[in-house]
Amino acid sequence: MMRKFNCLIIGLFLFMLPSFAQTGITDDKIHVIFNGDHADPSILRDGDDFYLTYSSAGKRPDLKVWHSKNLVDWTPIGYALTENLGWIWAPDIIKYDDLFYIYFGANKYGKIYVTTSKNPAGPWSKPVLLDIKGRIDPGHISDDKGNRYLHLNTGYMVPLSKDGLKVKGDLIKVYDGWEYPDDWEVECFCLEAPTLIRRDDYYYMSSAQGGTAGPATSHMIVTARSKSPEGPWENSPYNPLVHTYSADEEWWSKGHGTIFDDADGNWYVLYHAYRKGKTAYGRHILVERIRWTEDGWMVTERDREKEGLFETHYNEKITDDNFDNAALNLQWQMTNEEEWGEINYKLDGGEFTFINENEYMQTLQVSPSDKDYEVQIELGKKSGQTEVGLAIWYSETHMAGLGIQGDKVILRSHHGRERPIKGVEGEKIRFLKIRLKDQCVNFSYSMDGIKWTMLGRSLEVSAYTNNALGGYSYLRPVIYAKGTGKASINSFKYEPVK
């Protein structure tokens, strides 16, 4: 009897002990932690916590920050940027002393900015414009004396003030990149995206080369090391760290990497890549383990020329919305494409209302993890000459959309083409639905949300890619309004298509 009692006590004691889960990934798979477009990812570990952000496609709010404890399960915690600075490129999220920083490029002014916060969830400071001309892709590093630097594209570096908010000297060329074989198929040399770490006696820099898009084999991650942030830099004999060697691989244009560790001493590389044959969906975020060689260089755990196994995690979860909260939930972002115009809307009583003061198109959009899905909206009140609709979007001039303007029904497609749909009374339509399946878009409309009529015209959108159209955009569902006036949406529904 006593033995049973002791076993019970021990069992209860073990049950009450806190669980200490591993903070990172323990297998040698490539883990796809974000599907859909999440380009130029940057990651930071703070103790047992990981924080991540990435580039935008001209959306606001911007610099979405995510949190994880184990690298595969991620939760959005806020946005670092609400100001209108145009497209945001290649952020670097870091912590220095007790303050979090995000350095990033913005193409409204073609400059480098920095924003700070005591908490990654925010609030974040008003962005500070740094006096750096003609450079992109900032990567921060500090030395053991507290000197701080930003490395930039094409191998340049600039010193920063102690608080990291000012430039304290001239641009200095410190690195020339890695000479890859002459017969490799790339888009360009394009030395960019430096990210830096300190390990033992060396500073290590990871850079992107080969071009972000173009051929499947274009992009790569190359590494170099130095005893000083100012160089000279020695290229790794194991370069490239990550690269797509053949268009037969599942992941194309792998590159733009960040090196980091977890609290258990494991090391990783985080990077982006296109899915084979599906570049219209943008760049996904991948992470895999790396190890250190005896001579102090990093290599992947797998054979770098054999892609190996991968596992997908669906972290960007899109949910239905009746717009009955006081603020938009974190899945939503907006654009006003033309001239980076100001966004104006109202959220009140279960209704989202676009307020358009000019002819420019505004959009409300999400970034799904699923490649195939169906979205539906219920239309609300309208005033003025506003066209309101639903679309699979690459840009304002390249979209697959169905809109209502008064009694007119409009199909929007390639090169800004607008086709009126005859024989359909737009004023009676209350619901719109779009289905994206295998890069083909079908449209349906309904008067009551129960009986649906499929439009007899479909659009194929596989050519909506950067290689064809430029702009580094990608396919995603949007609700849009164009023209002066107001237009309201009462509900949004999203469902993956298998």
Do 307 and 344 belong together in one domain? no
Same domain, 118 and 235: yes
Domain holding 88: CATH number? 2.115.10.20
The verdict on residue 7 lying in a domain is no
pLDDT of the chain, 498 residues: tens digit per residue: 434 334 333 333 333 333 334 567 989 899 999 999 999 999 999 999 999 999 987 889 999 999 999 999 999 999 999 988 888 999 999 999 999 999 999 987 789 999 999 999 999 999 999 999 889 999 999 999 999 999 999 999 999 999 999 999 999 999 999 999 999 999 999 999 999 999 999 999 999 999 999 999 999 999 999 999 999 999 999 999 999 999 999 999 999 999 999 999 999 999 999 999 999 999 999 999 999 999 999 999 998 888 889 999 999 999 999 999 999 999 999 987 655 567 789 998 899 999 988 888 999 999 999 999 999 999 998 888 899 999 999 999 999 999 999 999 999 999 999 999 999 999 999 999 999 999 999 999 999 999 999 999 999 999 999 999 999 999 999 999 999 999 999 999 999 998
Say whether both 230 and 144 belong to one domain: yes
Instruction: Evaluate whether residue 156 is within a structural domain.
Output: yes
Question: Which residue type occupies 16?
Answer: M
Tokens representing residue 442 in the block? 């079908």
Q: Please tell me whether residues 185 and 126 are part of one structural domain.
A: yes
Looking at the structure, tell me whether residues 30 and 152 fall in a common domain: yes
Based on the fold, state whether residues 205 and 241 are members of the same structural domain. yes
CATH code (residue 354): 2.60.120.200
Among 249, 277, 312, identify where a domain stops. Answer: 312
Please indicate, yes or no, if residue 12 is contained in any of the structural domains.
no
Q: What are phi and psi of 97, to 5 degrees?
A: 55, -120
Domain check: are 149 and 198 in the same one? yes
Which of 312, 342, 374 corresponds to the end of one domain? 312
Whether this model's pTM surpasses 0.75? yes
Number of domains in the chain: 2
Query: How do strand 431-437 and strand 440-446 relate by DSSP bridges?
Result: antiparallel
Range of the domain at 279: 24-312
Q: Both 99 and 39 in a single domain?
A: yes
Task: Name which of 222, 225, 229, 228 is nearest 206 in CA terms.
Answer: 222
Asked whether residue 225 falls in the same domain as residue 173, the answer is yes
415/375 same-domain check: yes
Helices (H), 267-387: none
8 Å CB contact between 396 and 389: no
Please tell me the distance from the alpha carbon of residue 234 to that of residue 205, in angstroms, as a whole number: 10
